[in-house]
Amino acid sequence: MLRESVLYSRSAKNIILCDVCSHHCRLSDGQSGVCGVRLNDNGILIVKNYAELVTYAVDPIEKKPLYHFLPGSKAYSIASYGCNFRCGFCQNFAIAQKYQNTDKRFIEEVLPEEIVSRVKKTGAESIAYTYTEPTVFLEYVIETAKLAKENGLKNVFISNGFFTDKAFELLVPYIDGYNIDLKSFNDDFYVKYCGGRLEPVLQTIKRIADSGKWLEITTLIIPGKNDTLYELESVASYIAEVSLNIPWHITAFYPQNLFLSVPATPIEKMEKAFSIGVKKGLKYVYLGNVASVERTVCPVCKKSVIEREGYRISLCNVENGICVFCGAKIDGVFL
């Protein structure tokens, strides 16, 4: 479904400057942006994927991953097609990057009102904008999230963080929690492997933290690409500088897409990254995509207060955000 973009400006001769993401694409008539779903149509920036879902599912919130946002709850996850990055290691590249060949038989047009109606029938407590990059279907996110809030639902935004200040200001009234990928602390990595830049992502992380909205960060550790000691320490140091309360998800890579010749992340490298995060003072550090019990440890008494096996919570000693053992606050958003 076609819809006019909420963020763009027009100059002479119908040249458009898109203000949704930090590419700031400058588009001539008939030209599409990096995302492939925003088109200059005679001086109007058209969104081509409004309300066009390529996938949806009811997921554990822990799958996002969000470990401190309504733990144990369900999220109704939705995605349209398109992305403003070109990550060669993307696990969802078929729907995120292959939008030109998206088979319309696999697209379902679902308006925001219907999304909210579906969510309420499932009993999910939140809507997750995820799987692909939700920035590229920003208008759909905003209208759905606004309606969700009016119906007592939460909204979470799972993103590469490459969106503008203007986009963030439109999102912030409606989005309750974010997980942002901090893929590397090396701008060359972003340029070479993602088609993006580091600095806008760092700015996004800082903006979210300053807004008071809940934030968790994920880093996929790719052998030989972003796994040097300097890289891992730089990522952990930056997160610690923003806030020691931000959970850091260290995720194992497995060969896929254009990175089939890159080996899976050794568990020793994951454990090293974990120890770096703890050494830097981060209160909550987790290992993802590995077979292990993930524990949230109380930052005061050091007892295990939440334990997860896969995406299932097997133990919870947190009540209303408080450790039952010592009464300390566990950072997050709790039921």
For residue 176, the model assigns a pLDDT of 98
pLDDT tens digits along 301-310: 999 999 999 8
Looking at residues 159-163, what average pLDDT do you find? 98
Of residues 105 and 152, more confidently modeled: 152
For residue 96, the model assigns a pLDDT of 85
For residue 99, the model assigns a pLDDT of 61
- Whether pLDDT at 70 is above 60: yes
Domains of the chain from N-terminus onward: 3-47 (no CATH), 52-290 (3.20.20.70), 293-335 (no CATH)
Long-range CB contact pairs, 26-29, < 8 A, 24+: none
Please tell me the pTM assigned to this model. Answer: 0.96
pLDDT tens digits along 121-144: 999 999 999 999 999 999 999 999
If one counts every other C-beta atom within 10 angstroms of the C-beta of residue 185, the result is 22
Within the chain, residue ranges assigned H as helices are 93-96, 112-122, 138-150, 165-171, 187-189, 198-211, 229-242, 267-279
- Whether pLDDT at 101 is above 80: no
- Whether pLDDT at 215 is above 90: yes
pLDDT tens digits along 257-287: 999 999 999 999 999 999 999 999 999 999 9
Task: For the chain, give the mean pLDDT.
Answer: 95
